[in-house]
Amino acid sequence: MISYLWLIPALPLLGSVILGMFGPSMGPRLSGAVGTLSVGLAAVLAMAIALQWLGHPPAHSMYQQTLWSWINLPGFSINVGLYLDPVSLLMVLVITIVGCLIHLFSTEYMEGEDGYSRFFAYLNLFVSAMLLLVLADDLALLFVGWEGVGVCSYLLVGFWFSESANGYAARKSFVVTRVADIFMLAGLLLLATQLGTLNIQNMLAGAVATWPSGSLMPAVAASLLLMGGLGKSAQVPLQTWLPDAMAGPTPVSALIHAATMVTAGVYLVVRTHALFLLAPSVLDAIAIGAVITLLVAAFAGLVQSDIKRVLAYSTMSQIGYMFLALGVGAWPAAMFHFMTHAVFKALLFLTAGAIAMRLDHEQNIFAMGGLRTKLPLAFWAFLIGSASLAALPVISAGFFSKEMILGAVAAAPMPGMVLWGAGILGAMLTAIYIFRVVFMVFLGPVNTEISGSYGLRVAIPLVTLSAGALVVGWLETPETLGGQTIFSQFLSPAVGVFRHLPVSAMIPLTGIAAPLLGVAIAYTLYRNGTWARAATTEPSRLTLFLKSGSGFDTLYDAVIVAPYMGLVQLLRRDPVDQMFMLLRDLAVALHRQLRATQIGQIRRYASWMMAGSVATIAILLFA
């Protein structure tokens, strides 16, 4: 079974090729079926491989499949090969299963849209590229998948390209991640020249053998790779593209900008964690950057009025938690939060899409209200997703993963407690901003017209993901709740054994109290009408500052975009070209002068000829 591993990325690729070539003539039913089935088959295959894996793990808990040789030079070769270990298996499972549900949802959500088959072709291509990214056994091949998901993200953000704002958002997401990719490419070239291989396992072994811990070279290589990851994962300082990427269709936001692609940075760090361990300073930088990201994003989430932008900032903030876990070396905690986040954030986005379907694509939370009784399915799904995002204790998956991260952070050496405090503050803010949305959207009077009804293709993904958001947390629980360690044991061959370090009882108790306090604050502010008033009054400067994501866009516009566009304007008139235009202008001016003499009078010509002859003779005689 495991030898069919190559089929997992190949199936969605095949689907995308079929849809790309014959899509327009296939009709919406068939193209939706092809799109969903190709990912669905990959999901079934992935689950079969996972079951077999759990029963009989292969030797050393890893499986390598070399497909063909890509580049073969003396002393340097790149193979196209797949590498499966618990980390990539987990990623594959999440991508294919969540991806399949989102495809199913899209078949109904996108009904009647132009470019229906094009949408599924892009989406399948994305899944294929993402699977290649997580399965690649070589950093060069990983980079192919990395760029592939970037391209698909660009295509899908700009899916409704007839509106120029969407095109701008697509370009922005593409260009910002491209800037990050340049750093990553530089990191790859550095590793290739220093260690002579890009095969991930050989490269890591070589790095550990050659470089002492804390030396300069691994720090440089790790930071370059990290910059690539930060761009893809929308972390400070390369986070500005994610809120704008919400211009794409909602299933795209669910799949690409919440569940899978934006966690590629986390995957990259986990995959190369041996290299990062050689650079402790880079790990500290990751933790500090993560705290800044999660707080900036949480504050921005507090004041957004567009439901998708709230979710976008919450994604940024939750990935900040994952990076925080990476910063303290808690790899399984990061992967665990990745998994729960993929489930509940996909659920939240799909529910936001489901609400928009019934409300004529309304996304402003202040225009909604009272949907609890009108859309019970959406209400329960959103409530479960929100509970998980806010990490409400015990009942939600997010609680367990966030608890695992915060526990690991609190147990880390200084400045562990400071980071933990910021994490707790972020957790409380998370509960406030997401329950602000819940209360505004689902309580109070009904403000909007509601039309249509949900079909099975919407209901199944929502129910499945809701169930997931309730139960997946039980795969790894703290001591007091059973001490289950299935998840970290499963990952231990790849990332080492994870120990829940002993911390004082205050730490988990605060972790429980913070989200509850957040919900209480959100409810109080909802009851006394603070949120509703904020929608109608002129926003204060602080609000505007927070709403723009703490002004990073303004800063980058001033520091990078404006000078660059100025340079572009300058070069558009091509200074070098001006030199040659001068020659042209001279020729044209002379031509004007000379054509004035061409007047069609023979006598005038004759007199000029005479004058010329006289002048010639005079010169010959007297010169």
Nearest residue (CB) to another protein, 541 versus 595: 595
Stretch that binds another protein, among 100-108, 176-184, 450-458, 601-609 (CB under 8 A): 601-609
Member of 610, 615, 617, 618 binding another protein (CB under 8 A): 610
DSSP H/E element including 491: helix 486-495
**Rounded alpha-carbon distances, angstroms, from residue 212 to 206, 218, 219, 269, 275:** 11, 9, 11, 19, 11
Cβ of residue 601: shortest distance to another protein, in angstroms?
Answer: 6
Member of 528, 530, 607, 616 binding another protein (CB under 8 A): 607
595 binds another protein (CB under 8 A): yes
Instruction: Report yes or no: 464 and 101 within 8 Å, Cβ to Cβ.
Output: yes
The whole-angstrom separation of Cα 446 and Cα 369 is 5
Q: Return the number of other C-beta atoms located less than 10 Å from residue 534's C-beta.
A: 17
583 binds another protein (CB under 8 A): no
606 binds another protein (CB under 8 A): yes
Nearest residue (CB) to another protein, 564 versus 608: 608
Nearest residue (CB) to another protein, 214 versus 612: 612
Instruction: Report yes or no: 549 and 243 within 8 Å, Cβ to Cβ.
Output: yes
54 binds another protein (CB under 8 A): no
Nearest residue (CB) to another protein, 56 versus 592: 592
DSSP H/E element including 128: helix 116-135
Nearest residue (CB) to another protein, 453 versus 607: 607
**Rounded alpha-carbon distances, angstroms, from residue 222 to 114, 143, 175, 293, 327:** 44, 15, 22, 19, 12
Say how many residues touch another protein, by CB under 8 A. Answer: 11
601 binds another protein (CB under 8 A): yes
The whole-angstrom separation of Cα 45 and Cα 4 is 8
Cβ of residue 586: shortest distance to another protein, in angstroms?
Answer: 19
Instruction: Report yes or no: 95 and 255 within 8 Å, Cβ to Cβ.
Output: no
Instruction: Report yes or no: 250 and 308 within 8 Å, Cβ to Cβ.
Output: yes
**CB within 8 A of 495, min separation 6: which ones?**
87, 270, 273, 331, 332, 335
Nearest residue (CB) to another protein, 583 versus 596: 596
Member of 73, 596, 619, 621 binding another protein (CB under 8 A): 596
Cβ of residue 593: shortest distance to another protein, in angstroms?
Answer: 12
Cβ of residue 611: shortest distance to another protein, in angstroms?
Answer: 11
593 binds another protein (CB under 8 A): no
Where do the DSSP E strands lie in 378-417?
none
Q: What is the CA radius of gyration of the chain?
A: 30
Nearest residue (CB) to another protein, 582 versus 587: 587
621 binds another protein (CB under 8 A): no
Q: How would you class 258 by CB atoms within 10 Å of its CB: exposed for 0-12, middle for 13-18, buried for 19 or more?
A: buried
Stretch that binds another protein, among 203-211, 260-268, 571-579, 598-606 (CB under 8 A): 598-606
Binding-residue pattern over the window 374 to 393 for another protein, x denoting contact by CB under 8 A? --------------------
Cβ of residue 582: shortest distance to another protein, in angstroms?
Answer: 25
Nearest CA to 9 out of 120, 91, 105 is that of 91
DSSP H/E element including 599: none
600 binds another protein (CB under 8 A): yes
What single-letter amino acid sits at 486? I
603 binds another protein (CB under 8 A): yes
Q: Which residues bind another protein (CB under 8 A)?
A: 595-596, 598-603, 606-607, 610
